[in-house]
Structure 1
Amino acid sequence: MARDRDEDYAGPLRRILIAVLAIGLALSFLLWRIDGPRVERLRSAFVDRFVPTFDWAMVPVTKALGMVEGFQSYARIYEQNQELRRELQQMKAWKEAAVQLEQQNAKLLAQNQVRLDPKLTSVSGVVLADSGSPFRQSVLLNVGSRDGIVDGWATMDGLGLVGRISGVGKATSRVVLLTDTASRVPVTIQPAGQRALLAGDNSTLPPLDFLENPDLVRPGDRVVTSGDGGVFPAGLLVGQVVQGQDRRLRVLLAADYQRLDFLRVLRSHPAERITDVGPLVPPPAVEPLPPAAAGGEDG
């Protein structure tokens, strides 16, 4: 019964409230549309009285607008970040290409400016893909017998000794690297002047064998070819002495074996052997025999 009584009052009350709201809105519309000094003063007084107190009602709207602007700003930043990532990727590719060109240019310039014996002429060749050989550490060059290449000649990159020619074709030749187990190169360690044999062992740090006095050699000493045996010209840079993990003295090669693009083949000729002592060292004087001894021999 009570519920039915409440429902009987709720319907008319709702209709009354809606009518009052509609009338209030209509009066507000008319009041806002009337053009007159009194009405204008009334509108101004109403705005001054009630509008400043509605700041709290504008806070959600202001926050919502700020969130929308922040999201739009984040979207723009994300797009800019993606664009910068793409540009950075392109710059990395350009940097890699520039570094490779710079290294090739440096090697070619070094080959043109390296200081060697003026009697040593050279032929430059491009390293080709190796098609297999009896050596583990070797490369092919695009120069051969038609270019005057001879077995045993030394090869260098822009700075240091790389190996020797071992096998010559008409248009190609094979270079056995210093790191190969078949490589044996007589060297001199400076400044001590100690002589040794650089023996390849298929590692990037070949050891020094048959060293005369290891106590006189220090890590960082310069290693050059000695010219013994006539295999290589003397004074070619090989590398510097380092101490390996096995406590043996090894050589950090000056040549960049990771980037063998161009090699320089040195035209070396066998050294002329000098057997004459020369005029600065006169031959020993021969004393003449006494006359008596000479006459006795005649008798």
Structure 2
Amino acid sequence: MNGLARLAATPLGKAVGITRDYVSRLYYVVDEVPRGQRLRLTPVLLAVEYLVYRVDSLAERNTEVDLDAERTSDYEAFHTYKRAFEKVLRRVGAWNEDVAFLVDEAERFIRLENATTSRGTLTRGDFLALVELRPTDVRLLRAMTFALRGRPMPPETRDLLWPVEVLADIANDLRHYEQDVALGTLNVYAAFVRLYGDTAAAELRREVDRYESMFLERLSALPAERRARVAEVCRRRYEAAVRPYPRTITAPPAPAPPPPPGGTRPRGRVAVGAVLTAASLAAAAYGLRRFRPSHPTPALRTPRGHLA
């Protein structure tokens, strides 16, 4: 693995990729954020996404441990992160009811993912629930942009983007299907293969078609002059979900090679990540004070999606 690929696989590299693909190339375009504001918003959003990936590392190393049942030190770490997260976001003016709702949704996803992977009893509904909750981190970034700008989040574009975010998550699993199978990572297509065998692609395509129909129906409510541009940037995010699916892997994969020395996530790195994030947010706060909200945004409602 070369240096750039190795960097892209780190929490920082992943955070940069997510911020670029979702914030810069999707949310800023759909929400028509002025360029000057983008320069001030992006460092804070990048720092938050980095912290999200550090928290996610706790879930990754506990896939076989039911944290609610065993109450390990990582169980307490989730609560510690959440309290620190809220404190920092309040300090920089990036906290409102929408953000608070999504922070709770992020914790719900982490606990649901841990419960399902540690207990091993997964149904179609379980996987779809995970897929619908998994984009919570990017939804959180979008909610923060409105909090920092002191604006309410328009419900029509929030509803419009909800299925796009789900489709983009499915597309990501399809792109990484073989890699995830080899590593034993949770992957919705691999899950459908286990549940449905040779008909997995058709079953997953049914769900993709349902989410895309939801998006297209909501897109029609936008002003005509905006539809083409919004459709373009949204479809770009989920394009892999509507292309031909990968060939299914039926034979057990060869064991993944062990991580190199120092490749695991020692507890100290998690602490350093939290400190770096807090410092980054504090440094960015100075230039963002003008965006402090003067009034709270209306509460975010439960996501609009229904399992089949």
Which TM-score band (shorter chain)?
Answer: under 0.3
Q: Normalising by the residue count of structure 2, what TM-score does the alignment of the two structures yield?
A: 0.25
For the pair shown, the structure with the greater C-alpha radius of gyration is: 1
Q: Normalising by the residue count of structure 1, what TM-score does the alignment of the two structures yield?
A: 0.26
User: Larger relative CO (CA 8 A, sep 6+): 1 or 2?
Assistant: 2
* Structure (1 or 2) with the greater helix fraction: 2
* Structure (1 or 2) with the greater strand fraction: 1
